[in-house]
Amino acid sequence: MERLVELAKNPDRVVVLTGAGISAESGIPTFRGKDGLWNRYNPTELATFEAFERDPLLVWQWYLWRMHLIANASPNPGHYALARMERLYPSFLLVTQNVDGLHREAGSKNIVELHGNIFEGKCRYCGKHYSEREFAELFPFADKSFLRSVTEQELKERVFPELRRNLPVCKRCGELVGPGVVWFGEELPPAALESALRASSAAELFFSVGTSAVVQPAASLPLVAKRSGAILVEVNPEETPLSARCDFVFRESAASFLPRFVE
Ligand code: BV8
Ligand code: ZN
């Protein structure tokens, strides 16, 4: 750590890429970890437009279950440390694959959300976008304060049976609205990907935190940084395909490493 802190004294361009692992200590299951979402469901099955067209009720049940978990979760010391880190460096960009909004809740300002925001809505038929507030109005079950007012039990016993007749219908085109996230096979928001690529190719110090580094195109960002001469740091209790390319690897949780790094 000392050598990294030494090297990290004066870089003025720092990029941090985060994945589901940084929200693990907020109680949100990761995708591929041992208790991961992938084990109970197959998100490449569910997080797709095909699945939504085939069974919108099942897809919305899965997302409401996750939204309920997230609405009742709070940022952990790892999120707060990154919000502090942003103030330490003249140029700092946080690029997240997470859709839970916990970085914003922890106070991070310079954020790129590559995979969208689970509390927003997106009509994939006419392209209309719904902000968190607009979507909560269109689809009250998606409202964070509603989700905080019910238990998981009530969600399953009271909300799910009502869901079929209350799925969100687009105000503009009358089709069903889905969650405002990027599904597999869908393009990432071009502006978000562009700024993440630009910052990664100019970075002097690049952290990959809590990501299994397999989902493309996000997983290519650390390699873009490395190729442009950045020092590459991985923070992850487990080995990933990126580990061998890193200059520093900290085999520990984000919530333990990041607060130590910024103190
Ligand atoms: C695109 C939003 C084309 C939805 C997500 C082969 C076959 C099929 C497809 C592909 C293929 N090869 C490439 C693809 C494309 C595909 C892809 O990459 N698939 C993967 C599975 C191989 N990519 C896409 O489809 C992308 N779109 O390519 O479109 C295109 C191009 C142009 C024009 C039109 C179309 C879209 C990808 C985005 C998908 N959406 N999420 C939702 O959330 O419901 S991805 C999903 O995975 C989440 O966003 C998540 O963040 C992301 C990545 O996972 P991780 O964040 O890394 O989480 P994971 O569980 O994997 O790892 C957690 C890590 O944390 C672990 O390493 C663990 O050890 C660690 N950890 C655990 N605890 C802690 C910790 N670390 C620190 N501290 C702890 N306490
Ligand atoms: Zn529409």
Please enumerate, by residue number, every residue annotated as part of a binding site for Zn(2+).
123, 126, 170, 173
Boundaries of every domain in the chain: 1-28+75-115+188-263, 31-72+120-181
CATH architecture of 1-28+75-115+188-263: 3-Layer(aba) Sandwich (3.40)
Alpha-carbon torsion angle 150, 71, 81, 211, nearest 10:
120
- Beta carbons of 23 and 102 less than 8 angstroms apart: yes
The pLDDT profile of the chain, 263 residues, written as one tens digit per residue, is: 777 777 766 667 999 999 999 999 999 988 876 655 555 677 778 999 999 999 999 999 999 999 999 999 999 999 999 999 999 988 999 999 999 999 999 999 999 999 999 999 999 999 999 999 999 999 999 999 999 999 999 999 999 999 999 999 999 999 999 999 999 999 999 999 999 999 999 999 999 999 999 999 999 999 999 999 999 999 999 999 999 999 999 999 999 999 999 98
- Report yes or no for ipTM above 0.85: yes
- Beta carbons of 80 and 201 less than 8 angstroms apart: no
Per-residue pLDDT at 160? 93
Residue (of 77, 19, 110, 30) closest to 261 by Cα position: 77
CB atoms within 10 A of CB 149: 10
Q: At what angle do helices 254-262 and 77-88 cross, to 10 degrees?
A: 30
Per-residue pLDDT at 57? 95
Per-residue pLDDT at 6? 74
List all residues whose CB is within 6 A of at least one atom of ligand 1. 19-22, 24-25, 30-33, 36, 44, 47, 97-99, 115, 181-187, 210-212, 214-216, 235-238, 240, 253-255
Please enumerate, by residue number, every residue annotated as part of a binding site.
19-38, 63, 66, 97-100, 123, 126, 170, 173, 210-212, 236-238, 254
Among candidate residues 68, 103, 115, 129, the one labeled active-site is 115
Is-catalytic flag, 115?
A: yes
Between the CA of 115 and the centroid of ligand 1 the distance, in Å, is: 9
Per-residue pLDDT at 122? 98
Per-residue pLDDT at 34? 60
CATH for the 31-72+120-181 domain, from 3.20.20.70, 3.30.1600.10, 3.40.50.10860, 3.40.50.970: 3.30.1600.10
